[in-house]
Amino acid sequence: MNVEKDNIRLIPMTEDMYRSFFREYENDPDLCLPGQPFSHYEYSEEKVAGYIHRQKDLKRIPLAIIYGGEIAGEIIIRDIEPNKHATMSITLKNAGYKDRGIGTEAEKLAVRYVFYDLDIPILYADTVRTNNRSQHVLEKAGFTCIGEDPDYRFYRIDRTEFR
């Protein structure tokens, strides 16, 4: 699996890539749920090892977002029901990769990968209600808001709607 557009590529995330990613990772205050205190991320090998182990245990597909030869973020395909549906999430490494179109193009590549390489016709995503940037990116990638609760907005895109 290796998809590319506009100097943005998605490739399978390796353990070494995760270590590199998290060494420069910064928590985003927009991802805090209402009433949840913001805390800065501190790298530790144990945290990264636990995160990697969790991705494997949950049978998720982690993809590195490569921009300009560097890991800009990750996309995770999770809750996979073969030939039915899956859910996508995205995390950019830090503010230096935001507001540059990287997330939008990476999400479009991931949607194409899920629809045509994994043959899954419906893809879901969710975002913290206060994260307007993420909601905007999902909508630019073709997702439609299908509902919300006090903390999250829920999105969906169908293969027949994808351009």
**Domain residue spans of the chain:** 3-161
pLDDT for 156:
98
pLDDT for 1:
52
Q: With a cut of 50, which residues of the chain have pLDDT below it?
A: none
What phi and psi, each to the nearest 5 degrees, are found at residue 80? -80, 125
CATH number of 3-161: 3.40.630.30
pLDDT for 3:
55
Of all residues in the chain, what percent carry a pLDDT higher than 90? 73
pLDDT for 36:
78
Beta strand segments in the chain, E:
3-5, 8-12, 61-67, 70-81, 85-92, 122-128, 144-148, 152-158
The helix-helix angle for 15-23 and 45-57 (nearest 10°) equals 130
pTM for the predicted model, two decimal places: 0.89
